[in-house]
Chains A and B, each alone.
Chain A
Amino acid sequence: MKRLHRDFGKFMLYLIVIPYLVFLLFPFYWATISSLKTNKEMYDLSTNPLWIRERVTFEHYAYLFNRTLFPKWFLNTTVVASLVTVITLSIASLAAYGITRFRFRGRAAFAICVFVAYLIPPTILFIPLYQVLRFLGIIDTIWSLIVAYPTFTVPFCTWLLMGYFKTIPLELEEAALVDGATRLQTLIRVVLPLALPGLMTAAIFAFTLSWSHFLYAVAFISTSPQKPLSAGVVSELVRGDVFYWGSLMGGALLSSAPIVVLYSFMTKYFIKGLTGGATKY
Chain B
Amino acid sequence: MSKTSAYLMIAPALLVLVLLMVYPVLVSIYTSLTDRRIGTDGNFVGLTTYVQLIRQPIFLRTLANTGLYVSISLILKTIFGLALALLLHHVPAGRNILRAVVLLPWLIPTSMSVLIWQWMFEPTFSVLNWILTQFGLGRISWLGNPFWARLAVITVNVWRGIPFFSIAFGAGLTAIPQELYESASIDGAGSVTKFFKITFPLLIPVFSIVVLYSLVMTIADFDIVHILTRGGPFQSTHLLGTLAYQVGLAGTQISQGAAISLFIFPALIFAAFFAMRTIIGREMV
Contact = CB atoms under 8 A, between A and B. Distances in A.
On whether the two chains bind one another, the answer is: yes
B204 interface: no
Q: Main SS of the interface on chain B?
A: helix
Interface stretch (B55-63, B115-123, B144-152, B180-188): B115-123
Interface in B72-128: 80, 84, 87-88, 90-92, 98-113, 115-117, 119-120, 122, 124-127
A100 to B, nearest CB: 10
Contact of B16 (A34, A99, A154): A154
Q: Main SS of the interface on chain A?
A: helix
A9 B25 CA distance: 54
A59 to B, nearest CB: 17
B114 to A, nearest CB: 8
A115 interface: yes
Interface string B63-74: 000000000000
Nearest to A264: B100
B91 A13 contact: yes
Most chain A beta-carbon contacts within 10 A, residue among B2, B104, B115, B221: B115
Contact of B168 (A150, A264, A274): A274
A10 B93 CA distance: 10
B87 A20 contact: yes
A276 B17 CA distance: 22
A30 B119 contact: yes
A151 B220 contact: no
Contacts of A50: 127
A135 to B, nearest CB: 10
10 closest Cβ contacts across the A-B interface? A98-B9, A121-B220, A212-B109, A95-B13, A102-B6, A128-B24, A123-B220, A123-B241, A128-B27, A252-B112
A94 interface: yes
Interface stretch (A21-29, A60-68, A192-200): A21-29
A185 B125 CA distance: 62
B120 A127 contact: no
B276 A112 contact: yes
A127 B24 CA distance: 8
A124 B168 contact: no
A147 B16 CA distance: 9
A124 B110 CA distance: 19
Contacts of A279: 168, 171-172, 206, 209-210
Contacts of B103: 263, 270-271, 274
A248 interface: yes
Contacts of A17: 84, 87-88, 91, 98
